[in-house]
Every structure is written in structure tokens, then in C-alpha cells.
Structure 1
């Protein structure tokens, strides 16, 4: 398992940009994301070069095919609320927002600037690349 320190450094580096297309990592049982490296970036890129375990032996970045990117710049409009367990009951002029829980637990994400979504459509290239970097085709 990757160290929490590496994930903390990754989190500090992406605070302004968010998770990027090509970020490869492991999703933990608690839902956290342990970043390993970005498949599209060179070995000496600031995101890849600080990794304590380093990059896989023989690492070469996956060539980007810009035709394969799909961007939805308005995935969530400014001021959007994203939650599956809560519903907004309204907002008052004084800035108060009221929520209603539909389950005993939940999470709420408020997006004052909104959010965009970028997908890389060439899934087979990414899968083949991951197996090639692994070397033996077993799971990471």
C-alpha cells in the first residue's frame, strides 16, 4: 500500500486543479484515493517525480490522443450541490441553507465555482498500458 505521506503531497499539489485525467491510484476501502502516478506525464514532471517508491521500471508516459478527450465544462453549474443522501429545502436571503437527510448518514459537496468533467475515451489504450507497465498482467 502506498504511504499516506505521498497521498498528502498529491492532495496539496492538486488543490487548485483537481484530480487529472491519467491519475492512476488505488481506491481504499474507506473511499480514499492513494495516488500512484499520472500515466500521461513525463517521469520528471512535478507530480510524478516526488513519488517515494518511484515509477514502474521502464516507465514511459502513455501518449495522449487529444481526439479521445471528452470535456463537459458544465458538469455541475456554479453553486451546485452534489449529494445522494440530502436534499436542499431552500435558501434564505440571509445566506442560510436548509437540508433534509434521507438517510442516517450522508455527505454534501457544495461547488461554488461548479465543476467540469473530462473523460479519456480510449479505455483499451489505458488498460493495455497498465498491463504493460505492470509487466506480468497481474493486478496492482
Structure 2
């Protein structure tokens, strides 16, 4: 019995490819792997930025509360102590303070920040960030809210 011509043409075509389909599969797998790594990196960056935004939001909320509380002089120091305690609970190494300069005061909240950027000891950038007229320590983030007394 004789085989149909279709099978002999298919066998001839398969032997003519000679492994090129294996290279195509390897390239496809490499492309998928690189794409997956890119997506994972984007997700990690998004999660890190969401955490940083959450910390900034908490610090801004605390600074606003301090500004509102210190408008009443009799409650000012007790409220500052209370919100400073909240800052240390809600933020990593959090601290709250009020700086005064004449009729304008600034509620300042600082906390330790985790950064992927070079530190001040690396010789790149300033050693401290300005925050409410005072330099914040290196490796920390700061929110300052100015208000009239």
C-alpha cells in the first residue's frame, strides 16, 4: 500500500525546519520571562509607593490635627504630647513638633523612611531635607504644615 503524497510532503517539510521551532520556543519563553519580571517589578514599586503614600497621609493628618489643637493655647501642649504619641505609634520612628516663627507656626511630623535612593553618605544630594524651616535628619521623611497662631 502506498502512502499519500501529503504525508511525504509533511515529513519533508518537518526535516527542512531542522530545529528552528525549538529556537522560536526558547525566544518565546525568554520574552514571557522578561515580561513577567517587568510586571513583578512594577507591582513591587506600586506597593512600595502605596505604603509611602499611606505614611505621608498619616503624617499630614497628624500635622493638621496638631495645627487645629494648638490654636487653643490652654490645650496646645497636651494636644502636642498626645499627637506626638500617636505619631510614634502610626509612623516608624515618628515624631511630632511645633516650630514657631513670629505669628506663623509650623506643625512638623518626621518619620524614618525606607528609600531605594542613595543616602547622604554616598556623596550624592544634600545631607538633609528642609522641613518647616528646620533640616530633617538624613534618611527621614517630613511633613510640615504652616498655620497662623
Q: TM-score, normalised by structure 2?
A: 0.19
Greater helix proportion: 2
Which structure's residues are more often strand, by fraction? 1
Give the structure-1-normalised TM-score.
Answer: 0.20
Higher-Rg structure is 2
